[in-house]
């Protein structure tokens, strides 16, 4: 569906430019945008490499394991039905830690693994049958992942730096407030829906 929407927007833009005699400007804008997108990708590749490397160092040094143990009560609060020491908890913790540090790239693999493990738990609950319906734990994890509390919004800082911001890190405080609020609302919503379903 999104492909059709983007395709329609491009066609409408070209037709509008042609009708108004703006084809030279349209061509220049397309070429400039292509060049800028490549430059932005190179910038983001450097940022991604740096922070993913830092995440690997943190994992190798045992920092991730230490943080995982510290947020275990929070994970148990969110997912009380997941058995103790289940692999899903480790993947969920890694995903949350990566998101908090603003490392969406590092969070994605852990998130996918967490969903796989949560799917296995749901399958076991239904006697080995695949229901095709997301469990409460899967929905909760997805919502927490989307709300994504971030202490260091790496992406936004990189974008602001790329486009010449005087103070790229000025986004940190507003980002913390916005993502903290979204995460609190997400937790309240998940708990409310879980309680409502039990009733």
Mean pLDDT in residue range 152-178: 81
Q: Is the pLDDT of residue 126 over 80?
A: no
pTM: 0.68
Q: How far apart are CA 129 and CA 4, in angstroms?
A: 36
Q: If you average pLDDT over residues 113-137, what whole number do you get?
A: 81
Query: Do residues 117 and 108 lie in contact, with contact meaning Cβ atoms separated by under 8 Å?
Result: no
Do residues 72 and 89 make contact, with C-beta atoms less than 8 angstroms apart? yes
pLDDT at residue 31 greater than cutoff 70: yes
Q: How far is CA 85 from the centre of its chain?
A: 25
Identify whether the C-beta of residue 149 lies closer than 8 Å to the C-beta of residue 180. yes
Give yes or no for a contact between 113 and 144, defined as CB atoms under 8 angstroms apart: no
pLDDT at 182 over 80: yes
Banded model confidence at residue 198, pLDDT cuts 50, 70, 90: low
Residue 150, pLDDT > 60, answer yes
Please give the mean pLDDT across all residues of the chain.
81
Question: Looking at residues 47-55, what average pLDDT do you find?
Answer: 74
Predicted pLDDT at 197: 67
Average pLDDT rounded to a whole number, residues 72-87: 85
* Res. 23 pLDDT band, cuts 50 70 90: confident
- What's the CA gap between 199 and 195, in Å, rounded? 6
Residue 111 scores a pLDDT above 60: yes
How far apart are alpha carbons 27 and 34 in whole angstroms? 11
């Amino acid at each position: 569906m999104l492909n059709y929407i983007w395709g329609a927007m491009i066609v409408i833009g070209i037709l509008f430019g042609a009708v108004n005699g703006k084809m030279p400007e349209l061509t220049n804008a397309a070429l400039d945008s292509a060049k800028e997108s490549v430059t932005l990708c190179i910038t983001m590749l450097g940022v991604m490499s740096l922070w993913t490397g830092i995440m690997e160092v943190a994992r190798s040094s045992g920092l991730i394991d230490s943080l995982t143990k510290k947020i275990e009560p929070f994970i148990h609060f969110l997912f009380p039905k997941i058995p103790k020491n289940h692999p899903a908890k480790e993947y969920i913790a890694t995903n949350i830690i990566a998101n908090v540090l603003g490392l969406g790239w590092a969070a994605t693999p852990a998130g996918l693994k967490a969903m796989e493990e949560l799917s296995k738990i749901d399958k076991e609950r239904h006697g080995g049958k695949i229901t095709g319906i997301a469990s409460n734990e899967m929905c909760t994890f997805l919502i927490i992942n989307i709300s994504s509390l971030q202490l260091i919004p790496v992406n936004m800082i990189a974008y602001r730096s790329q486009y010449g911001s005087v103070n790229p890190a000025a986004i940190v405080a507003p980002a913390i407030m916005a993502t903290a609020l979204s995460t609190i609302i997400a937790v309240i919503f998940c708990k409310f829906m879980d309680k409502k379903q039990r009733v």
